[in-house]
Structure 1
């Protein structure tokens, strides 16, 4: 039963994430990264406060819990600032697929921090993920000239959006692993809402209050802001419920189906070219992700 529960929750999480990204790009493209981060964190935290009902006394939480949180918050804010800039300014098909690297990074981080072990086939999974990133930029290579065969991989670092999302994938590998470390001290149905309340408060203090005008400008398109916030709240809730039921790598693997959904959104809503190539690349990367997990 738990197997079905975590899988269903992870699929809902993936769809909500991809939909929030597409809605952000479609309706909030003229928003700054600061404004978008306030929406994704502060407003989501406010929306999730009803889930705090029944929260155990904070005084019962050990110092270790607050240590995990203190490390997580700045990393989450940094990752979201880069994430929002990447999907706002660059094609979804050239940014979202690089989130597939998160499980590859999780292998090393979860092993070191949590002692979680993933099978040796993870190495093959990593190679497939790298192969998928090569396929995303395969037009940079010429079959007749072996000197160009590494060009698609180099293009990842030359394209700003791809480079930024690769950095986000690394940060998310850290936060997903550390988040489970903090989660051992609080029930998942409470942790997601409480964590985003803290994250929203930190974002408000660091980004909103120094520039009060930002808070007012966020509401210039309220219907779009509420839709993105609602989708993000669904994603957060299902993320923390699922990750409590299964190994970090497994949950993140299924959640990364969002990259395929995002590519489809890119072709449908933004007429991004090369759908077949991008889906093939995403399929290869997802195969690697699932090999890592299973």
Structure 2
């Protein structure tokens, strides 16, 4: 059952990426981040009436830890994109599963078996190949850019923090429920980003109206991504769920090629195949 939700998540993430790309032509990135959480904030809180709420120390530690990281990462992610080339910035996100391999055993006692570990490594390698343009740079160029470019450093911090947030998510979910964690997390992120949007005077009704369909779909697929990701997270190892989530890059590549005419699809598909083999190993390791 965990695999069903873990695979639905990257599909939803890939579709979300397509509409983020389309809406970014008209709308400020921070405003898109704010739009992400509109539908979840409307849907999830009323559903809390259907469950028993559990407030304990572990829930607060997990929820606040993950929530604070999500807010910080929203700001750092946008800064990384604005200060660096996407070709050197985006490969940094490939290393989030490796952070979990280090953090999970010491915090929540999770570590994959040998086959699963090899699968995670293949997913990381495939994700890196998928996100780097080998026609224009050497495979080590993104690492060199860490020294030269603030944007690449920011995105590496984002990757590390996302790995850590996965641990906090698991702690919160195990101590409460998937729905409780999602709801409180969304409220915290939505309120925090709303303050940022208003303080930086980014709110622009006219631009939002021009991209209202795309922004609605961004928020809709964000809702799906939240549900699928956290349900899967409650059922298996965090490192497995986060690794399979990287497939969203594959789906984004295919959607970008067919709908946005983005180039370099052959190399990206090669990276996708490596990732697919890694996912198969993760599946059969269970």
Q: Is the contact between residue 11 and residue 254 of structure 1 (CA under 8 Å) also seen in structure 2?
A: yes
TM-score (norm 2): 0.81
Distance 1:6 1:104, change over 3 A: same
Structure 2 residue aligned with 1:257, among 244, 247, 261?
247
Deviation string for 1:3-54 (max 9, x for gaps)?
Answer: xx21111222111111111101012333223212211235532343333232
Tell me what 1:139 maps to.
135
Structure 1 residue aligned with 2:181, among 175, 180, 191?
191
Deviation string for 1:202-221 (max 9, x for gaps)?
Answer: 3223x134246627467333
Distance 1:132 1:228, change over 3 A: closer
Distance 1:215 1:56, change over 3 A: farther
Give the Cα separation in 2 of the matches to 1:128 and 1:256: 7
Give the Cα separation in 2 of the matches to 1:128 and 1:27: 29
Distance 1:248 1:267, change over 3 A: same
Q: Is residue 113 of structure 1 aligned with residue 107 of structure 2? A: yes
What count of residue pairs does the alignment treat as equivalent?
Answer: 278
Q: Give the C-alpha shift of residue 267 in structure 1.
A: 1.4
Distance 1:163 1:270, change over 3 A: farther
Q: Is the contact between residue 157 and residue 163 of structure 1 (CA under 8 Å) also seen in structure 2?
A: no
Q: Is the contact between residue 114 and residue 177 of structure 1 (CA under 8 Å) also seen in structure 2?
A: yes
Give the Cα separation in 2 of the matches to 1:167 and 1:286: 26
Q: Is the contact between residue 92 and residue 262 of structure 1 (CA under 8 Å) also seen in structure 2?
A: no
TM-score (norm 1): 0.79
Gaps of 5+ in 1: 142-150
Structure 1 residue aligned with 2:141, among 154, 160, 166?
154
Distance 1:34 1:125, change over 3 A: closer
Give the Cα separation in 2 of the matches to 1:286 and 1:202: 36
